[in-house]
Amino acid sequence: MLSKKFDPLKGKILEVLNYKGEIVDEKLVPKLDDDKLIEMYKTMLLGRIADIKALQYQRQGRMLTYAPIKGQEAAQVGVVAALEQQDWMVPAFREMAGMLYRGASLKQLYLYWYGNEEGSRFEKDVRILPISVPIASQINHGAGVAYASKILDKKEVVVAYVGDGGTSHGEFHEGVNFAAVLDLPLIVIIQNNQWAISTPRETQTKAKTLAQKAVGYGIPGIQVDGNDPLAMYIATEEAKKRALKGEGPTIIEALTYRLGPHTTSDDPTIYRDQKEVDYWEERDPLKRFKIYLINKGLWSEEQEEKETKEVTDYVNKTFKEVEATGLIDLEETFKYTYAEMTPDLQEQLDDYKAYLKEVE
């Protein structure tokens, strides 16, 4: 079992492709067909371009708030690529590339960041829960879906995403403990991007690794090079097999890095050193995967250029469609969550209307 060989208590990290795009251990390379590898890379590239553009639109005053994914594409696509149609994805708020691979449309994801809750209403067969901003809520949601799958005896697994900061939250403990005790088919992906806004990983917990938290729950945990899509793929595949055999959840800690700001309201230059960013830029997941594919004869610089141009046009066109829908009436945000507004929401709406009168 991978989690035995790569014991997080001993600081052993699972990697297949190093940051230069070289294979570390031939035996670990997953047997993926060429089309799938290309699809994975193209989705990572789409995620990257859509991310850069979203940040630009926001700076131009055209997009509302946005949470960048730059640097975390492999931790997302590598996982989702190992899922089947019937499986479930429970995202936090920084998983755009994974959601795109799963089949969510870019228009919908952009609509969400444009403040339109229609962006949370995914097509049924995509099997993605709505983006959930409350930290670590994803683990309880994921455990709940996994519990339902188990009761209904469905052959499906649930992947729930959480950040390094999220592992300090009560909901992380509750959800993982519940899933472990009941042997639920849950895969917990901790995207350890080294920062929780301005809180560095070192001050988040005294635990040496986040994966080793699994020991306390009696389940396997593994640290994976989260910028390596192939390593993330094999770790997820193994966790999926365990889950389907009724052996319960697995924790996968993806070691990655948030290359951009926390959100468009953040300025990371205030709290982190550029040298650290440079170190991780070198370990960019797209760079290494591109080299790997070029070496395999599956990709070229010419293809990269052509694809980048096409994707950029597509992203710009998609955002124009989103802008054409217009900003939603702010009242809708009070009315969206429940079929009928609760008294406290009604009160907040009344306050808001009173405020609007005041500033008129």
Ligand X SMILES: Cc1ncc(C[n+]2csc(CCOP(=O)(O)OP(=O)(O)O)c2C)c(N)n1
Q: Which entry of 48, 127, 242, 258 is annotated as an active-site residue?
A: 258
| Site membership for ligand X, residue 262 (CB under 6 A) | yes
Q: Which entry of 127, 262, 283, 288 is annotated as an active-site residue?
A: 262
Measured from each CB, the residue nearest to Mg ion is 163
**Is residue 120 within 8 Å of residue 131, measured between CB atoms?**
yes
For 210, the token pair is 């986040």
What is the footprint of ligand X within residues 202-261 (CB under 6 A)? Answer: 258
| Site membership for ligand X, residue 196 (CB under 6 A) | yes
Which residues contact Mg ion by CB under 5 A? Answer: 163-164, 193, 196
- Alpha-carbon Rg for the chain in angstroms: 20
Q: 63-95: buried (b, 16+ CB within 10 Å) or exposed (e) per residue?
A: beebbbbbbbbbbbbbbbbbbeeebbbbbbbbb
Measured from each CB, the residue nearest to ligand X is 163
What is the footprint of ligand X within residues 1-40 (CB under 6 A)? Answer: none
CB of 338 to Mg ion, least distance (A): 31
CB of 228 to ligand X, least distance (A): 19
- Reply yes or no on whether 336 is catalytic: no
- Reply yes or no on whether 258 is catalytic: yes
Q: Where are the alpha helices (DSSP H) in the chain?
A: 2-5, 34-59, 73-80, 96-102, 106-113, 137-151, 170-181, 201-204, 213-217, 229-244, 274-282, 285-295, 301-324, 331-335, 343-359
Spatial separation of the C-alpha atoms in residues 116 and 126, rounded to whole Å: 19
- Reply yes or no on whether 169 is catalytic: no
What is the footprint of ligand X within residues 126-145 (CB under 6 A)? Answer: 133-135
Task: Walk across the sheet containing 158-163 and list its strands.
Answer: 13-14, 221-225, 250-255, 186-192, 158-163, 88-90
Q: Which does 98 bind (CB under 5 to 8 A by kind): Mg ion, ligand X, none?
A: none
Given candidates 53, 94, 213, 290, which one binds ligand X under the rule CB under 6 A?
Answer: 94
| Site membership for ligand X, residue 98 (CB under 6 A) | no
Q: Which residues bind ligand X (CB under 6 A)?
A: 94, 133-135, 163-166, 191, 193, 195-197, 258, 262
Catalytic residues: 258, 262, 271
